[in-house]
Amino acid sequence: MIATKESAIDKFMKMVEQRNPAQTEFHQAVYEVALAVIPFIEQHPEYQKANILERMIEAERILIFRVPWMDDAGNFRVNRGYRVQMNNAIGPYKGGLRFHPNVTLSVLKFLAFEQVFKNSLTTLPMGGGKGGSDFDPKGKSDNEVMRFCQSFMTELFRHIGKDTDIPAGDIGVGSREIGFLFGQFKRLTNEFTGVLTGKGFAYGGSLIRPEATGYGLLFFVDEMLKLKGDSIKGKKVLISGSGNVAQYAIEKTIAFGGIPITASDSDGFIYDPKGITTEKLAFLFDLKNNRRGRIVEYAEKFGCEYFEGERPWKIPADVALPCAVQNELNEDDAQMLVDNGCRLVAEGANMPTTPAAIALLQRNGILYAPGKATNAGGVAVSGLEMSQNSVRLFWTREEVENRLKGIMQKIHEQCIAYGKNADGSIDYLRGANIGGFVRVADAMLAEGHV
Ligand code: NDP
């Protein structure tokens, strides 16, 4: 029986690799889904007959375009822009924009594919997409970033719209970039609509959107621990990254009584054994969001250890929350977590844990939950921002946060519904993948062969 499942998955992956050569990140994201979904499809011939999974891995539309811009010294510069419109079976395309030098079509296809399942899990009416550029905002002046964003939007605006495709932020695209992109969209179309989410509150943004991914992650972790009769109170927590997701994951960890002891950036990580407190977090917010400095400055300021070029996973702790980038936690890292007694790994970033590391964690009975479930809070509040824009109202912080909490609880329930093992334990990976798949697949069946 197992041999049949493996061979069906192998055959499927061979086809994926042949049709998408050299797109390794995309192969990895599809493989993670295939492992859970193909055995499920084998028991549901209606999905098999309609070739649903084969149709889901083919993007509905991919746009690739030139982005010319001029730097402050008057040099002519060029980058590549992308938008991957993956699937709109349950709603308009929705997903962030990433500006980072390692952005490729493979990275954006992996992110867009993940987004389809994640958005489905939120239970809100949002399809999946992702976009971005190999432009690096780091080290650029505000004026250079503005000229780049204006040029990027000068092509993208033709392909997006409040009922078609609604981009948001991701790595390298924060409130500054969203502001510039929105300004240019408005200028080109003469329309003030909710075409982007993550907007500033002054021009149509939602309260709690900046906090949503980090807070949502902790709401989910809270549910996982509650099910075990436990809580995060007093637990040591490893967090990687120091950007949007990491900052608010640290904030909510503190609020729940946990002790965040690490943070990182692409240069290294800090280890603060006494815990990052609210006061120290205020320094981190200012360092990263206003001064755009490096994490080493935290260690200098508070006199704690800094590990250059390393990641936090070797530090003993109870919980690990990777919140930086894909494939930042490998098999060796997972082994260190296991050896040091870590009990739970939940992803704030997209696909931060390699397949070998996931297998190792699961083999060792560590509670592991994938990003498509645990970091869905960001897109969920983006969905709530769209609702508020449609009815031209603003909800209070409490209202948005309560809705976010409710959505994370519903995602957790779906993971249980589809991921419960015979011994009562929960396979969150299987639960999230099948839970995300079913709603999209049913909509695709209903909408015909389009
Ligand atoms: P930010 O750009 O705000 O922060 C990214 C963080 O990751 C920075 O600390 C950055 O350090 C670090 N980082 C980037 N590349 C590397 C690398 N190669 N090695 C080590 N660290 C690295 O992005 P976000 O916080 O928004 O996003 C983080 C992750 O969460 C991404 O995977 C994103 O897709 C995912 N996510 C984000 C959501 C959101 O709402 N923002 C929603 C759902 C998922 P440095 O400054 O040195 O580059």
pLDDT, mean of residues 353-375: 98
CA of 324 to the centre of ligand 1 (A): 4
Q: How far apart, in whole angstroms, are the C-alpha atoms of residue 349 and residue 371?
A: 6
CA of 122 to the centre of ligand 1 (A): 21
pLDDT digits 0-9 by tens, 24-71: 999 999 999 999 999 999 999 999 999 999 999 999 999 999 999 999
Residue 6 confidence (pLDDT): 59
Residues noted as catalytic: 130
Residue 184 confidence (pLDDT): 98
Probe ligand 1: pick from 118, 171, 218, 375, max atoms within 8 Å of CB? 171
Residue 406, pLDDT > 50, answer yes
Instruction: Check if the beta carbon of residue 380 is closer than 8 Å to that of residue 216.
Output: yes
CA of 52 to the centre of ligand 1 (A): 32
Decide the pairing of beta strands 305-308 and 268-271.
antiparallel
pLDDT digits 0-9 by tens, 216-272: 999 999 999 999 999 999 999 999 999 999 999 999 999 999 999 999 999 999 999
Which atom of ligand 1 lies at the shortest distance from residue 311's CA?
Answer: 20
**pLDDT cut 70: percent of the chain above it:** 99
Q: How far apart, in whole angstroms, are the C-alpha atoms of residue 247 and residue 428?
A: 25
Please name the residue whose Cα sits nearest to atom 40 of ligand 1: 378
pLDDT digits 0-9 by tens, 298-310: 999 999 999 999 9
Q: Which of 283, 291, 277, 437 is nearest to 373 (CA)?
A: 437
Q: How far apart, in whole angstroms, are the C-alpha atoms of residue 352 and residue 69?
A: 32
Instruction: Check if the beta carbon of residue 395 is closer than 8 Å to that of residue 389.
Output: no
**pLDDT cut 90: percent of the chain above it:** 98
pLDDT, mean of residues 177-204: 97
Q: How confident is the model at residue 5 (pLDDT cuts 50, 70, 90)?
A: low
Residue 199, pLDDT > 80, answer yes
Residue 278 confidence (pLDDT): 98
pLDDT digits 0-9 by tens, 413-448: 999 999 999 999 999 999 999 999 999 999 999 999
Average pLDDT, the chain: 97
Please name the residue whose Cα sits nearest to atom 20 of ligand 1: 266
Pocket of ligand 1 (CB under 6 A): 169-172, 213, 241-246, 264-267, 323-325, 328, 348-350, 375, 378
Please name the residue whose Cα sits nearest to atom 28 of ligand 1: 324
With b meaning 16 or more CB within 10 Å and e meaning fewer, what string describes 260-282? bbbbbbeebbbbbeeebeeebbe
Residue 144 confidence (pLDDT): 98
CA of 98 to the centre of ligand 1 (A): 9
Residue 2 confidence (pLDDT): 46
CA of 39 to the centre of ligand 1 (A): 33
Q: How far apart, in whole angstroms, are the C-alpha atoms of residue 274 and residue 317?
A: 13
CA of 171 to the centre of ligand 1 (A): 5
Please name the residue whose Cα sits nearest to atom 23 of ligand 1: 171
Q: How far apart, in whole angstroms, are the C-alpha atoms of residue 319 and residue 235?
A: 7
Q: Using alpha carbons only, how large is the chain's radius of gyration in Å?
A: 21
In the beta sheet, which residues pair with residue 94? 166
Residue 1 confidence (pLDDT): 40
Residue 9, pLDDT > 90, answer yes
Compute CA 399 distance to the chain's CA centroid, rounded to the nearest angstrom. 23
| CA quadruple 195, 197, 200, 204: dihedral, nearest 10 | 50
Please name the residue whose Cα sits nearest to atom 42 of ligand 1: 378
pLDDT, mean of residues 79-100: 98
Which atom of ligand 1 lies at the shortest distance from residue 213's CA?
Answer: 40
Residue 356 confidence (pLDDT): 97
Query: Which residues are CB-contacts of 341 (< 8 A; sequence separation ≥ 6)?
Result: 316, 318
Which domains occur in the chain, in start order? 61-193 (3.40.50.10860), 212-369 (3.40.50.720)
Q: Output the pTM of the full model.
A: 0.96
Probe ligand 1: pick from 325, 382, 408, max atoms within 8 Å of CB? 325
pLDDT, mean of residues 124-139: 97
Please name the residue whose Cα sits nearest to atom 43 of ligand 1: 375
